[in-house]
Amino acid sequence: MPPLPLGEGWGEGERPGTGQGPNPRCTLYSALWSGWGRVVGPVLGKQMRRRLGRSGAWAGAAVVLFLVGIVFVVAGTPYFIAGDAAKRPPLDQQITTLTLPPGVTLAGLERAEVAEIVDGDTITAKLEDGTTLPIRYFGIDTPERGDRCFREATDRNELLLGDTVLLLRDQRLEDNNGRLLRYIFLEDGTSVDATLVAEGFAEAWRADGYYRDQIVALEEQARAAGRGCLWK
């Protein structure tokens, strides 16, 4: 049988191209198609609308998540580029010197070669006799590993130190852990202990020490000024 012609009045009136009356079979097909369309059409329409509604909701959620991701990437870019420096307050540099005890000169202090920066107030250094030992700064106390400002204090200590440091003894020569206790100076006269406290990376050691009162005063000034990681 040739394909059924489509168009207005299909199955009604004359059979196209024949001049004959309606084809009963075409009339039946037309009625069945029309009835099926009236029954199934609304159902399919609802399903399509539901699918479109669900897909539209998912599409909207995806767009929102995409935009949120862009915001986080843009906002976080400076931190990824600059690293930890972008997360830290700017350094308020306070290079500090301390007057040496009577009769003591920089040239007369023991020299040591820095081998390792342990943290903000401890290094390992090679002494003049060739031994390499841990040295704890006498006049200060910095945050321990895992505490707030540990990394900042350690990094600042490393930036201050050169390859060589000068060591000044006080009454106590070792701490309870067997580390040497020394005030740390640089060859230009900078006191590393005092500078770390003045810049807000360390607290003053208050129990004893030749420079105790001076370093305590520096801590109070740093607190008042809101300097460094500890007091920002």
Residues 59-115 pLDDT 10s: 666 666 777 567 454 455 444 444 454 456 689 999 999 999 999 999 999 999 999
- 56 pLDDT more than 90: no
- Number of domain units in the chain: 2
Token pair for 229: 């990681």
* 42, part of any domain: yes
Instruction: Let me know if residue 136 belongs to a domain.
Output: yes
CATH of the domain at 133: 2.40.50.90
Q: For residue 172, tell me if it sits in a domain.
A: yes
pTM over 0.75: no
Burial of 80 (0-12, 13-18, 19+ CB in 10 A): exposed
| pLDDT at 80 (0 to 100) | 46
In a domain, 121, yes or no: yes
Do the beta carbons of residue 122 and residue 128 sit within 8 Å?
no
d(CA 201, CA 159): 13
- Find how far residue 52's CA is from the centre of its chain: 41
* Whole-number pLDDT of residue 32: 47
Same domain, 78 and 110: no
User: Which domain does 40 fall in, by range?
Assistant: 24-84
Same domain, 167 and 71: no
pLDDT of residue 41: 55
Same domain, 57 and 123: no
Answer yes or no: is 79 within a domain: yes
| Predicted local confidence at residue 165, as pLDDT | 98
Same domain for 71 and 148: no
Q: CA-CA distance, 56 to 222, in Å (whole number)?
A: 58
The SS3 assignment for 116 reads strand
Claim to verify: residue 68 and residue 174 sit in the same structural domain: no
